[in-house]
Amino acid sequence: MYKQLLVSDLDGTLLNEHHQISVENKKAIQAFTEKGGLFTIATGRMLSAALPYIQELDLKVPVILGNGTQIYCPKQQRLLQSHTITSHRNKIDQIWNTHSDRGVVLAYINDQIYTPNRNGLISTYEDKENVTCIVSDTVPLQMNKLLVIGEQIHDAVQMVGELLKVCIQSDTTYLELLPFGVSKGSALQELRRLLGHDIQRIISVGDQLNDLSLFEASDCGYAVENAHTDLKRVASYITKHHRDHAIAAVISEDTALI
């Protein structure tokens, strides 16, 4: 098998509804890598929230974190790349000072997550990601990304206001502001450069609009059955629902991967 890299999103793609990697997915990934394939993840999560899955799969290839804001090398246990937001400061301050029962804002700098106030959405997020948010009245001077979570997507849209045109949707009710020019796709291009020219084919799998750039930087993009309609529209193929071991399905369906 010629050298191939399979890149998977985590939430809504590799992980099932219980935020776990199924035995079926794990076995398929192991078989793929034993035959010489390379596997990694591209996620909106930062390191502390992604690390348990990195360790569970014993990943060797650098992983894409924070929707492309960071590249982390598991073998060297260090960041190879990290970007921070340098624009939209006034608008970010306005969002930070907007208090709503139907939305929250979070600022990420490395493994620290800050929020101006706590509500049920924060508690739900902490449980899902297994992280703890720090309450701060002031916006951090530096941040890798800004995340706005709404009860519904229109709540998040209302909170980000004019910044909507430069935000990406990373989950059903999530909108994120990233550093200019940064995406999962830009990070994948950098990862391809780091791995060298022996990577002959890149296959990516995702479910949300933040995976659009990932597909654009890949040779082939698989959208899971539960994916956003717009992502399905541009995908090379549609595979199974994330509850039904989607990564195992891709490895089985794509004849070039076996």
Q: Tell me how far apart the alpha carbons of residues 26 and 28 are, in angstroms, rounded to a whole number.
A: 5
Residue 236 has pLDDT above 90, yes or no: yes
Separation between Cα atoms, residue 79 and residue 5, nearest integer Å: 20
pLDDT, the chain, mean: 95
Closest CA to 138 of 174, 187, 89, 81: 89
When pLDDT is averaged across residues 34-59 and rounded to a whole number, the result is 96
- Confidence tier at 257 by pLDDT (50, 70, 90): low
**Which whole number is the average pLDDT over 11-16?**
98
CATH code of 4-82+182-257, in short, is 3.40.50.1000
CB atoms within 10 A of CB 177: 24
CB 9 within 8 A of CB 42: yes
pTM above 0.85, yes or no: yes
CATH 3.30.1300.10 fits 89-177, yes or no: no
- With beta carbons less than 8 A apart as the criterion, state whether 191 and 182 touch: no
Instruction: Choose among 243, 224, 214: nearest CA to 67.
Output: 214
User: Taking the domains of the chain in order of start, what are their residue ranges?
Assistant: 4-82+182-257, 89-177
